[in-house]
Amino acid sequence: MPYFTIPTYYPPPPPKIPTVQPGAVSTGTFSGTYGTYTSSSSNGPGPGCEDWGKKSFVTALSASVKGPLDGTTNVATMASYAVPVNPSFINNATKQAVALAVGSPLQSDVTVALPLNSQLASVLGAKGFPSNCYNFVLGELGAAYNVAGVRTETVDLQLTMTVRVPSPAPAGDLYFGLYNIPATGSFQKLTLKVTKNAADVVFDQTYYSFASFKTALENKAFLIQTLTTDTPLPVKIAVTEVLGKGQGANFQIMVADPPAMPALAAASLNKAQGALNSTGVNSDSLLAPSGKRALIESDLFRHWPSPAASFSLGS
């Protein structure tokens, strides 16, 4: 009777998961057809504002990406403060996964970003946020799949932050909104989920076309929570993109807290309007909208409460 020896089967070893170590900026190139790539960046408290005793608005910031290996993948993550929103990360065709976050961004970058979401700009402008203490995080999330890909891939992108309005700054409402959404993009499915305090869902929507995604989110502002002074609020923004070969989508995102107008400033402004109206002058034409903002953003109210505490607009 023939004797056969059945060869022993040895399964392939488990994949090594390449990981870029946390830091302010991380970039990496991963190659392979088996396993998962991950990249992350993290940072502690951001710079403080002089008007708040040098206390920070953002106390923790991180960005991460995760996806399957299928050939060569270039990724970039960033979690930094008070640096230019690096254009090399934005709309970069050489990166297959990007998660970028800049806390306490430069005023010049905020000035560029705000007009790109009209509703968010309107909300923030109406709140009268001070020009010297921008409570912002600007970021980008995006993924792309090479045209040479052989299967559908799912990429997870995430920004996390902990924000806190420190006394004596007046607390306001924390909003988020997307901006600079490209004219074109594609995916099989994209899910955007925003949570606060680890489990409280603020926003959770899935889109099956780039056109519906752009229509639903362009020029929109969404309230995350009304903040309480000196109370930390963890926020997570998670995006999952399911992509076929040659597909991809990216966008920029803004998280902002426009502090409520100080009561003293509001009272003085109302008093000024009343005085003007009593003389027959239309105060709305003089004080709204740019005049109100100029008054609120003047040195008088920017350095509230100390210089403004002894100020009055006539009797």
Q: What's the pLDDT at 50?
A: 64
Percent of the chain that is helix, strand, coil (3-state, to 5): 20, 40, 40
CB 304 within 8 A of CB 132: no
Q: How far apart are CA 13 and CA 70, in angstroms?
A: 17
pLDDT on residue 9: 42
| Cis peptide bond prior to 22, omega within 30° of 0 | no
pTM of the full predicted structure? 0.74
| Cα maximum dimension of the chain | 117
The 3-state DSSP class for residue 182 equals coil
- Split the chain (315 residues) into runs of 10 and give each run's mean pLDDT: 48 39 64 84 82 78 91 86 66 72 86 89 66 74 83 94 84 91 94 96 98 97 92 97 92 82 46 57 47 36 32 31
pLDDT value at residue 155: 95
CB 147 within 8 Å of CB 153: no
* pLDDT recorded at residue 101: 93
- Cα gap 252→110, rounded to integer Å: 12
Please give the pLDDT value at position 207: 98
What are the helix (H) ranges across the chain? 107-113, 118-127, 210-217, 263-278, 283-287, 290-296, 299-302
What's the Cα-to-Cα distance from 153 to each of 71, 73, 241, rounded to whole Å? Answer: 12, 12, 8
